[in-house]
Structure 1
Amino acid sequence: MKPAYDGNQWTVDARGYSIRNGYEWVRPKQAKYDWCKIVCSKWNYPKHALISWIVMNNGVMIKERLFQFNCCTDDRCWICDSDTKTQSHLFYDCQYSKQVLRLTEQWCGFRIFVSSSNSRTGSSAGAGLKQTVHNLIWTAYYYYIWNQRINFQLLKPGSVADKIKEDVRRKIRRKLDKTCTRADNTWLQKWGVAIE
């Protein structure tokens, strides 16, 4: 606390010291995460939101951790067999995951930014409905890549991208009402989703 005083005066707040502002001064400041709003969106499937939350909090049990506890014989990624299977590798560096993301981006027509920094997310989607669709794709991506990690039979990247697309289409059909703008409706028709 000593650096917060100058000549016996509490310098942080002109009104003087209080327990509250003393606590605020000493506690570590954490960055606000952009992903919280995406994960907690009412549009998301609960299972997608849960897995995305776990990923963003670095809590996915992956082969690297199991290897440390002698639960498996190696720590290689069983999807691509090219690197140690860390959470960062699985979601951001694995060629399989990159291909799924690339196929999904080709379908939706904008860039999906996934980042191992856990602090920033983004897209070139813009705002409104397109941003909502970006968020749906973002959480579905984490869910289906995680799901492939636990599957005994690995699906082709195109099949995983198709699952993401179908989940997004289904959610839009359920949630979007007829007040959709003409531009959004035209955009959705390209995806095979028409709001009548």
Structure 2
Amino acid sequence: MFVLPKGIIKRIEAVCRNFLWDNSADYRRATLVGWDTICRPKEEGGLGIKDQEVWNKAMVGRLVDWVATQRDSIWVNWVQSNYLKGQAWMEYKPSSNSSWVWRRICKVKEEMRNGYVNGEWSVQPGGYSPAGCYAWFRGTRPRVQWDKAVWNGWTIPKHQFMGWMVAHKALNTVERLVRFGVVIEEKCYLCGIADETIEHLFCECIYSRRVVVELNKNTAWTFPVRDLVEWCSIRAGTGLQKGVQNAIVMSLMYQVWQQRNRSRNEMSLLRPERVAGLTPLSQFGNKLEEHRFVSLSTGLGRFKNPGGELRVPSLKSGTARIYDPRGGPDEDMPSKKKLCAKALLGSTTGY
């Protein structure tokens, strides 16, 4: 356990922050989400990255607790004989000529004072732990509604990050770039009709809506992006249904944003049907392979995969495809035992 100088902690945080936004240690531009928000737990809207300054305090707090509980160690005995000299630990004040490390330990002790009752750490049962002290220092915030929609086992990480950015409305849309003086024109890079906001890009844009129509031509999908991730979190359905439908939404947002950036940087754009093809349900094949069968509360029963094939719904209503992990050709499942996308996702009216 080391007492780190603030300069070192700030440098560590800078490296972590730069790597998050630019995959390097030398990122120089403004970040899209504040570091304090990033360091919150995922259920509170952050990424779960530890605040290094608070974490170091929590680790130093272990030394404070050792002295408070009179732990049997050489270091505690040395502190008792050279610093405390019979004084009560909670009432002790360091002298001005003490080392900066000792003064820092005493400062952390003062911040932890309210956590002790009768000399015992009372914040969590079982005694002191750095994780418990870290949470105590950070405090708690209300839980966001969309955390389980974004951070679920069905969504791949880059789509999860995209969903997290949308939830914080942190994408560099034209509306945001105009405010910063980067661009002058406010029109959408995908349709060129309306001003580009997050709401327009995923909800109102003709291109985005066409991508969704191509994804499932039998269902009129709409994006209620103003509360998109919250909508995912309260969507009715089984755990499997909700997991897949949320993953599809995150994948769609990711692909639409990729095409928006392609239009801006390369002045080219894939056709909506091709973009829809980039978000197939086949990406969930590995997940289903772990189970070897799928169980849905839709009255379809359980269908065991013959020979280890994976029954994954296709994008066409009424059919399902068999994805063979051994690399064999896929074929339509018999109509009697099909797992169609509509059955998996439930009713998608108004989605």
> Given the two structures, how large is their TM-score scaled by the length of structure 2?
0.41
Name 2:247's counterpart in structure 1: 136
Classify 1:184/1:114 alpha carbon distance in 2 versus 1 (closer, same or farther; 3 Å).
farther
Following the alignment from structure 2 to structure 1, what is the Cα–Cα distance between the partners of residues 228 and 322? Answer: 32
| Residues 39 and 52, structure 1, Cα contact 8 Å, conserved in 2 | yes
Classify 1:88/1:111 alpha carbon distance in 2 versus 1 (closer, same or farther; 3 Å).
closer
Alignment RMSD = 3.2
Name 1:178's counterpart in structure 2: 292
Deviation digits for residues 64-87 of structure 1 (CA, Å, limit 9, x no counterpart): 121223322311112111111111
3-state secondary structure, aligned to 2:227: coil
| Structure number with larger C-alpha Rg | 2
Classify 1:30/1:63 alpha carbon distance in 2 versus 1 (closer, same or farther; 3 Å).
same
Classify 1:105/1:81 alpha carbon distance in 2 versus 1 (closer, same or farther; 3 Å).
same
Name 2:321's counterpart in structure 1: 192
Name 1:93's counterpart in structure 2: 204
Aligned pairs, number: 166
Name 2:231's counterpart in structure 1: 121
Following the alignment from structure 1 to structure 2, what is the Cα–Cα distance between the partners of residues 73 and 112? Answer: 29
> Given the two structures, how large is their TM-score scaled by the length of structure 1?
0.70
Which structure has more RCO (C-alpha within 8 Å, separation ≥ 6)?
1
Classify 1:124/1:50 alpha carbon distance in 2 versus 1 (closer, same or farther; 3 Å).
closer
Following the alignment from structure 1 to structure 2, what is the Cα–Cα distance between the partners of residues 128 and 59? Answer: 28
| Residues 293 and 302, structure 2, Cα contact 8 Å, conserved in 1 | no
One-letter code aligned to 2:209: K
3-state secondary structure, aligned to 1:164: coil
3-state secondary structure, aligned to 1:180: strand
Residue of structure 1 aligned with 2:179, choices 46, 68, 91: 68
Following the alignment from structure 1 to structure 2, what is the Cα–Cα distance between the partners of residues 110 and 77? Answer: 23
Q: Provide structure 2 residue ranges, at least 5 long, that are not aligned to the other structure.
A: 1-140, 304-310, 326-351
Classify 1:80/1:110 alpha carbon distance in 2 versus 1 (closer, same or farther; 3 Å).
closer
Question: How big is the shift at 1:43?
Answer: 1.7
Determine whether 1:79 maps to 2:194: no
Question: How big is the shift at 1:161?
Answer: 0.6
Greater mean alpha carbon deviation, residues 186-195 or residues 125-134? 186-195
One-letter code aligned to 1:133: V
3-state secondary structure, aligned to 1:192: strand
Residue of structure 2 aligned with 1:42, choices 142, 153, 172: 153
Deviation digits for residues 138-181 of structure 1 (CA, Å, limit 9, x no counterpart): 1101111111111122111111111011xx312x2111121323
Deviation digits for residues 31-89 of structure 1 (CA, Å, limit 9, x no counterpart): 741x2101100221100000110011100011112122332231111211111111111
One-letter code aligned to 1:188: P
Q: Provide structure 1 residue ranges, at least 5 long, that are not aligned to the other structure.
A: 1-28
